[in-house]
């Protein structure tokens, strides 16, 4: 099991992996990501996530359609996203929640972690990446 480090390397690796996974899934990755690793969760906040086409659709009044498609993308990437977190954090993901917001263009990926084997608390770790 990997322990979080105080330098934020695991959080930065998660941010980079999630940006890459979203880019592979949707054709474009977010321009900014911030990952926070807590005692029982990993939170990845993403900014500027939508494609040019999705932004145009939202501006044209089709925001619900954009959110529906984004939800489908999230379902498709669920297994890979969970595997990334499990590998980098060293703990099993027991729940995954994901959502997008159109204005501002932000998204949140929340991974709920299985309790640590030793029952102890883990350190808070945070890192931000910009692309």
Assigned domain for 71 exists: yes
Q: Are residues 20 and 79 in contact, defined by beta-carbon separation less than 8 angstroms?
A: no
**Which of the residues in the chain have pLDDT under 70?**
1-7, 118-129, 131
* 59 within domain boundaries: yes
Q: Is the residue at 31 inside a domain?
A: yes
Question: DSSP state, 31?
Answer: S
In a domain, 112, yes or no: yes
pLDDT at position 82, please? 98
* Domain residue limits at 93: 9-130
pLDDT of residue 43: 98
Q: What per-residue confidence (pLDDT) applies to 130?
A: 75
Please check whether residue 4 lies inside any domain of the structure: no
- Residue 75 in any domain: the answer is yes
pLDDT at 131: 67
Query: How many domains is the chain built from?
Result: 1
How many angstroms separate the CA atoms of 84 and 78, rounded?
10
What is the reported pLDDT for 116? 81
Residue 47 lies in a domain: yes
């Amino acid at each position: 099991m990997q322990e979080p480090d105080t330098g934020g390397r695991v959080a930065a690796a998660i941010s980079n992996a999630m940006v890459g996974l979203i880019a592979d899934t949707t054709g474009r990755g977010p321009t900014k990501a911030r990952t926070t690793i807590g005692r029982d969760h990993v939170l990845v906040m993403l900014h500027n996530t939508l494609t040019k086409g999705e932004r145009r659709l939202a501006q044209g009044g089709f925001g619900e359609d954009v959110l529906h498609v984004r939800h489908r993308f999230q379902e498709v990437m669920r297994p890979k996203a969970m595997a990334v977190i499990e590998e980098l954090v060293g703990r099993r993901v027991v729940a995954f929640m994901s959502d997008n917001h159109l204005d501002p263009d932000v998204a949140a990926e929340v991974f709920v972690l299985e309790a640590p084997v030793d029952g102890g608390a883990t350190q808070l770790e945070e890192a931000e990446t910009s692309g």
